A and B are shown apart, each in its own frame.
Chain A
Amino acid sequence: MCKECGCGETNGNNRLQFIVDGYTDDNAKEVEKALLGLPGVLYVHIHPHEGETTVDYSPKLTKLSAIMKVFDDRGLTANL
């Protein structure tokens, strides 16, 4: 958040954490890139070994189903 004007406090964004089964180092990079390319997704962090995946996104701009599709398209199972 900006200390001057208070903007960006949440950006209207939600932060979700998924546990994803089936990551490899390569497909984790691919998922990160695909998620960051979605409208309103500002931050993605993936721990491939634990499957922990954090996504900061705007529900106004991207539906949760679009995020889930990124996992599904690569044969990955994601749970909230």
Chain B
Amino acid sequence: MAVTIDVKADILGKNDAVAEELRNLFKEKHVFVLDLMGSPGCGKTTLLEKTMQALKDDINMAVIEGDLFTSKDADRIDRYGVPVVQINTAGGCHLDAPMIKKAIENIDLDKLDLLVIENVGNLVCPAEFDIGEQKRAVVLSITEGDDKPMKYPLMFKLASIVLLNKTDILKFCNFNLDGATEDIKTLNPGVEVLPVSCSLGDGLKPWLDWLREMVRSVK
């Protein structure tokens, strides 16, 4: 007689237990941990570069980079002198809590104020996995289309802040900025939505202020 075992429930249960353990550790070490998510090419790494340029002299940062196979993003982070740990998921479409637990073995949490975890580029799976973060940030670029919040609701529902990136090319795209903002706030009434251009550095002050405030809040 065949017996069916729901393995997925067990994996997710284990993930959540490790995530909670990590969250307690980060709290104890007074480190603010951000899960940075978004599609491939939306501008997550460019946002991180601008963030490091602005904050690295005032805030002790480290970055964990999630990528399927390469270290291209980690190489970009490394140029700024910020400690970076690469996780290659070997084709896996998201990071999970056990991966983060292993990665932080290479990071001195006692010296940190801020740990940014750049998740694998994907609007679906990363939203399903708690990785021990305190907050989630989502980058949506206007070239992806204004229909994405309603098509990928969980990602936007669980975010604390959403950056609508690449506004410098808004006039060339059929993207309704007000409509997308309204959809995001409909899904998640308390969320902050910031139009930005990461490549030009436009509109980033509220983002940097928010990050500073989050870092202060865990001290």
Contact = CB atoms under 8 A, between A and B. Distances in A.
Nearest to B93: A4
A32 to B, nearest CB: 8
Contacts of B189: 37
Contact of A11 (B91, B154, B186, B188): B154
Nearest to B153: A42
Contacts of B91: 4
A5 B187 contact: no
A6 B154 contact: no
Contacts of B92: 4-5
B157 interface: yes
B94 interface: yes
Contact of B186 (A6, A36, A40, A43): A36
B154 A42 contact: yes
B153 A5 contact: no
Interface string A32-53: 0100110110110000000000
Interface size class of B (residues with CB under 8 A): 10 to 19
Interface string A1-42: 010111111010000000000000000000001001101101
Contact of A8 (B125, B157, B186, B188): B125
Contacts of B128: 7-8, 11
Interface of B: 8, 12, 91-94, 124-125, 128-129, 153-154, 157, 186-189
